[in-house]
Amino acid sequence: MPTTSREQAPTSAPAEPALVHAARVADLHNDRLVLLRVTVVVATGYAVGASMQSAYIYARLIPGWDAVTVWQRLAANALAVLALVTTFAGLRAWRATKVWQMLLAAVGGSIAAAGTRLAAQVAFGVYVDPDFETQQAELLSGFAIALISSSIGYWGLVSRRRSRAKTRAAERDAVLVELAVQALEQEEIRVRREVAEGLHGTLQQKLVLVDARLASVLAHVQDGLDEHDRASLDWVRSELDQARQIDVREMSRLLYPDRLELGLVPAVRALLGRLPASIATQLEVTDEVRQVDDPCGNHLSLSERLLAVRVVEEGVTNALKHGPASKVRVDLMMDGDHLVIAVENDGETYDPASAGAASGTARIGHRLALVGGSVDLSPGTVRGARLVARMPLGAHDA
């Protein structure tokens, strides 16, 4: 049974990529094993069964049959099995893809097996000069058994091919889903950045121009305005200024944190830098994180950075809102291939029993769960609260 020689996939033009070719060679190798193994096992089963039946049952009923040993019958049947698989190997029967090709190979192998069996029966002394009817009966039974064995072998081959095709389709779907998620993430980041830039640039500039025009009109009509109108216009200007300074810029940052392009550490530093001066901030970053955060290294994707900044934002907002804190500490470290983000503050000690329902932390938790990460809120080391998020890196590279 030639199962050890290397299988060659038929060459097709144009040349296929090496990986596809290797997969086809592996598939053919696998097909050969399945077809030959199943056929041999089934045919051997029949061969042994038929030999035993003749030697131990028919020998008692038919005069003269007890003169032939079970070994003679077994040897003849074994040669028939060998003839069947040798024919399959010669025809490369595992390459058959169409029903007629399979049928042709099965019939060819079965004829070879039946003929070999009869010749071996005569050679091994099972029959001495058999008459025409005996020859016909042996040929027919040999052919039928070989054909049934070959058909079962092909059934195994077709089933294997179907299950392989299903597995491949499922793998392809998983890759497509993964690519779609990545594309969506990139699209989300692109839209965020464009809207943030639009708010920060275009809208802010328009508001500045409106304010400047208002200021010049005010200067012209200074004397013609009564106290009330001037106060109203001053109010409009101050509202415009506040909308520009706080609302627009803050919204722009919310959509796309400052300095995210430069890395996670610069973005977190910028975020902490915007806190009121009365709150002491501390940022601890391990060397490992600095390495993965190198924007040239491409280890930390923009979406991973964005998510990490969101965790820090949530921890800091909670510290200000629920603390109230006088100190906020942020730690960025690695634990294996997980980025660990810890935000701790020194406000009121967090008590899970009396705390409000998880809202912002739950939202962050859902985002992290999508990439295989998690978040945990617990009491701080001394007082306050500690928010710890774990995020696996390179989930998309796997």
Ligand X SMILES: Nc1ncnc2c1ncn2[C@@H]1O[C@H](COP(=O)(O)OP(=O)(O)OP(=O)(O)O)[C@@H](O)[C@H]1O
The site for ligand X (CB under 6 A) is made up of 318-319, 321-323, 345, 347-348, 350, 355-356, 358-362, 377, 384-385
63 binds, among Mg ion, ligand X, none (CB under 5 to 8 A by kind): none
Q: Report the residue number, 59 or 271, with the smaller CB distance to ligand X.
A: 271
* Ramachandran quadrant class, 52 (left: phi over 0; alpha: psi -120 to 50; beta: rest): alpha
45 touches Mg ion by CB under 5 A: no
* Spatial distance between the Cα atoms of 115 and 80, rounded to a whole number of angstroms: 8
What DSSP character marks residue 96? Answer: -
Binding piece for Mg ion, criterion CB under 5 A, among 16-24, 133-141, 249-257, 354-362: 354-362
Half-sphere exposure of 249 (CA within 13 A, CB side): 13
Beta pairing partners, 338:
335, 392
324 binds Mg ion (CB under 5 A): no
**Chain residues 134-163 in contact with Mg ion, contact rule CB under 5 A:** none
Residue from 42, 50, 45, 44 nearest 70 by CA = 50
CB of residue 313 to ligand X, shortest distance in Å? 10
Distant-in-sequence, close-in-space partners of 53: CB < 8 Å, separation ≥ 6 = none
Structure tokens at 145: 């058994």
Identity of the residue, 74 or 306, whose beta carbon is nearer to Mg ion in the bound complex = 306
Sheet holding 338-345, edge to edge: 280-285, 327-335, 338-345, 385-392, 374-379
Structure-token match 């030999």, residue found: 51
Residue 365 interaction partner, one of Mg ion, ligand X, none, beta carbon < 5-8 Å per kind: none
According to the binding rule CB under 5 A, does residue 360 interact with Mg ion?
Answer: yes
Give the CB-side neighbour count of residue 88, counting CA atoms within 13 A: 35
Considering CB distances under 5 to 8 angstroms, the limit depending on partner class, which of Mg ion, ligand X, none binds residue 355?
Answer: ligand X
**How far is the C-alpha of 329 from the C-alpha of 315, rounded, in Å?**
10
Partner touching 257 among ligand X, Mg ion, none, CB below 5 to 8 Å by kind: none
Least distance (Å) between residue 197 CB and ligand X: 27
CA nearest 27: which of 173, 175, 174, 160?
Answer: 160
The dihedral through the CA atoms of 376, 286, 276, 189 has a sign that is negative
331 binds, among ligand X, Mg ion, none (CB under 5 to 8 A by kind): none
User: Between residues 126 and 377, which has the closer beta carbon with respect to ligand X?
Assistant: 377
Determine if 318 is a binding residue for Mg ion (CB under 5 A): yes
From CA 268, how far away is CA 291, in angstroms rounded?
16
Q: Which is nearer to ligand X, 72 or 345 (CB)?
A: 345
H/E stretch holding 375: strand 374-379
Query: Which of Mg ion, ligand X, none is residue 319 near (CB under 5 to 8 Å by kind)?
Result: ligand X
- Decide if residue 345 touches Mg ion (CB under 5 A): no
- Partner touching 369 among ligand X, Mg ion, none, CB below 5 to 8 Å by kind: none
Between 61 and 357, name the residue whose CB sits nearer to ligand X: 357
Stretch that binds Mg ion, among 31-39, 139-147, 291-299, 359-367 (CB under 5 A): 359-367
Q: How many residues bind Mg ion (CB under 5 A)?
A: 2
Which residue ranges make up the site for Mg ion (CB under 5 A)? 318, 360
